[in-house]
Amino acid sequence: MKQTANGIEVAQGSRITIACLARNMGLNLAAFAPSADWGTLSSPIVITDHGLSRSGAFEAPMAPDRCDIVVEFNFLPDAGGNFPAGIDYTISITETTPEGQATTIDDPPPIIPPPIVDRGYKFITR
């Protein structure tokens, strides 16, 4: 996996997983848009030591091709309409090649309120 000015280059047939970690929140409101043929459109939320994790995965298309993905991040305000300090989402992207080699990149900066925030990704098969 390689980040370029045109997008993220991945190998044909690789499994791409986008993981979203909600930190300091009681809910993970990340949503994966149905713009890719997701193998796992929206996984169950997993409780970790660092927050609530949700992920989506798909298989990279035949080369040469491109796949655009949008992940939507939402935040739930408190009863007064404010967003608690320290809440955010962090994103990591993992490519697992058909040979089983895994590479992970983190996508900074973290997503912070206000709601709703979209982050798009372009995957290019090589």
Contact 73, 93 (CB under 8 A): no
Per the structure, how many domains does the chain have?
A: 1
If phi > 0 it is left, if psi is from -120 to 50 it is alpha, else beta; for residue 87 that is: beta
**pLDDT band at residue 59, thresholds of 50, 70 and 90?**
confident
Interatomic CA distance for residues 20 and 126, integer angstroms = 25
The per-residue pLDDT for range 24-46, each reduced to its tens digit, is: 988 888 887 766 555 555 566 77
The strand order across the sheet containing 117-125 reads 2-4, 7-10, 117-125, 65-73, 31-32
What pTM does this model have? 0.86
| Chain centroid, CA 97 distance in Å | 18
Does pLDDT of 65 surpass 90?
no
Q: Which residue has the higher pLDDT, 65 or 97?
A: 97
